[in-house]
Copies of this chain bind each other. A is one copy, B any other.
Amino acid sequence: MTTKPITVALLGSGVVGTAVARELTRNAADFEARVGAPVQIVGALVRDASKDRSETGLPADVFTTDAEGLVERADIVVELMGGTEPAKSLITKALENGASVVTANKALLGEAGPELYQLAMEHGVDLSYEAAVAGAIPLIRPLRESLAGDEVTKVLGIVNGTTNFILDKMDRTGANLEDVLAEAQSLGYAEADPTADVEGHDAQAKAAILASLAFHTRVRTSDVHCEGIMGLTAEDIKAARRAGCVIKLLAIAEKVERDGADGGPGVNVRVHPVLLARSHPLATVREAFNAVFVETKLAGELMFYGRGAGGDPTASAVLGDIVHAARHRVSGSHGAGESAYANLPILPIGESLTRYVVRVEVADEPGVLGRVTSAFGDQGVSIESMRQGVRRSEDGLASLTFMTHEAPESALATTVDTIKKLPDVTSVTSVLRAEGI
């Protein structure tokens, strides 16, 4: 074939960038056959251009420290730096120059995705980001293209491998969070500063990206209600286990039909721990794996499962996007853009409807059960079931577990505040949202 090569610039030469470079070099003939033209790396951004990088199979003069110059001389710019700057400026420059962009940068997309999608459309180029959510799992393209004729109503995803590893391990061993987190750090599943994972911020950005795609609406990271896993105790996990459940950190995006004056549907996006029936398909997702459950009007329930992180899995997603963009460069076209035409309102978290499991510790005195039950009723929160734990006779305390019907977050919050102040109530031990129970 004598077709003009499609040129690629790599911004970032970490574990993913190295895997991408290795595959494009080693399997050059396959990529040429699949694209219809050779795919050639013309530059890779590094911090130190003198370091030995022979394992990539690239000639030494490909490596450069000049990011600005690099984005001007490639058909496809692959951004693997992470963080918002200088990634945003470089991607903006690349798109304005008419290059297609492939990125794995969820933080940037969660914050500035809408502007960047718009810019890509204006310049008639591709902006692809399969690797930004759930690593190797084909999810962005199915949502954007395969389900383009259907109506997504709910997305429920385990999109952070670190927290899933921790919660799965706590479930299987009964250990407490601090010990498992330390183990996850020593195994490389959690970073030295695990904040972004355990506080849910990583999942929060991914939830925004998924919700935007699923509902054709602009959702930013800051629109997503977020709670992490640090408040979970070994006792929470054990109590879940006794109830035939498991606790998972989920990214949840729902399209909600609203009655009344406001009318019209809205979007509810949140990240928090969820009590999940052990029979739910997401409950079986082990270790650092990711899985995303999608409910649609026509297709019904769909699930996508696979590895959410790691050099090779992430490279698989990035390479798929490179082939996609390269095929379009060869045919002089570009893929479907993002659509935000639906422009649905983002609902406040207080309006979200969920079922709750509330555990309360009370002094075992007459009348206390009635007072706690009334606190639910006063806010219109309907109780589905109540279970009283074994009484600890030595301290005269009893544990009550309430499962509610669907109730608004705000009504539940008021209920919990009221219960905390009741006489004979020692503490509200835990409040968990439930799915599929």
Contact with B along A21-38 (1 / 0, CB 8 A): 001000100110110000
In the complex the two chains form, is A302's CB within 8 Å of B136's CB? Answer: yes
Chain B residues within 8 Å of A141, by CB: 138, 141-142, 145-146
Chain B residues within 8 Å of A304, by CB: 302-305
A145-B299 in contact given A304-B304, A305-B305 (Cβ < 8 Å): no
- Of listed A31, A146, A304, A328, residue having the most chain B CB within 10 A: A146
A306-B300 in contact given A320-B150, A333-B331 (Cβ < 8 Å): yes
Chain B residues within 8 Å of A307, by CB: 299-301
Contact with B along A303-335 (1 / 0, CB 8 A): 111110000110111111111100110011110
In the complex the two chains form, is B136's CB within 8 Å of A142's CB? Answer: no
* Contact among B138, B216, B298 with A146 in the assembled complex (CB-CB below 8 Å): B138
A291's nearest neighbour on chain B, judged by CB, is B303
Chain B residues within 8 Å of A313, by CB: 298-300
In the complex the two chains form, is A316's CB within 8 Å of B150's CB? Answer: yes
A319's nearest neighbour on chain B, judged by CB, is B149
CA gap between A284 and B285 in the complex, in Å: 12
A316-B296 in contact given A141-B142, A145-B141 (Cβ < 8 Å): yes
Chain B residues within 8 Å of A333, by CB: 328, 331-334
Is A147 interfacial (CB 8 A cutoff)? yes
A320-B34 in contact given A302-B305, A303-B306, A313-B300 (Cβ < 8 Å): no
Is A148 interfacial (CB 8 A cutoff)? yes
CA gap between A147 and B300 in the complex, in Å: 24
Q: Give, as a whole number of angstroms, the nearest-CB distance from A118 to chain B.
A: 15
Is A41 interfacial (CB 8 A cutoff)? no
* Contact among B145, B303, B324 with A303 in the assembled complex (CB-CB below 8 Å): B303
A135's nearest neighbour on chain B, judged by CB, is B299
In the complex the two chains form, is A302's CB within 8 Å of B137's CB? Answer: yes
Q: Give, as a whole number of angstroms, the nearest-CB distance from A74 to chain B.
A: 17
In the complex the two chains form, is A149's CB within 8 Å of B298's CB? Answer: no
Is A339 interfacial (CB 8 A cutoff)? yes
Contact with B along A330-349 (1 / 0, CB 8 A): 01111010010110000000
Q: Restricting to A365-417, which residues have a CB under 8 Å from any CB of B?
A: none
In the complex the two chains form, is B317's CB within 8 Å of A146's CB? Answer: yes
* Contact among B33, B145, B300, B316 with A149 in the assembled complex (CB-CB below 8 Å): B316
Chain B residues within 8 Å of A317, by CB: 146, 299
Q: Restricting to A113-132, which residues have a CB under 8 Å from any CB of B?
A: 130
CA gap between A336 and B320 in the complex, in Å: 12
Is A281 interfacial (CB 8 A cutoff)? yes
In the complex the two chains form, is B145's CB within 8 Å of A320's CB? Answer: yes
A298's nearest neighbour on chain B, judged by CB, is B316
Enumerate chain A interface residues (CB-CB to B < 8 A). Answer: 19, 23, 27, 30-31, 33-34, 130, 136-138, 141-142, 145-151, 216, 281, 284, 296-307, 312-313, 315-324, 327-328, 331-334, 336, 339, 341-342
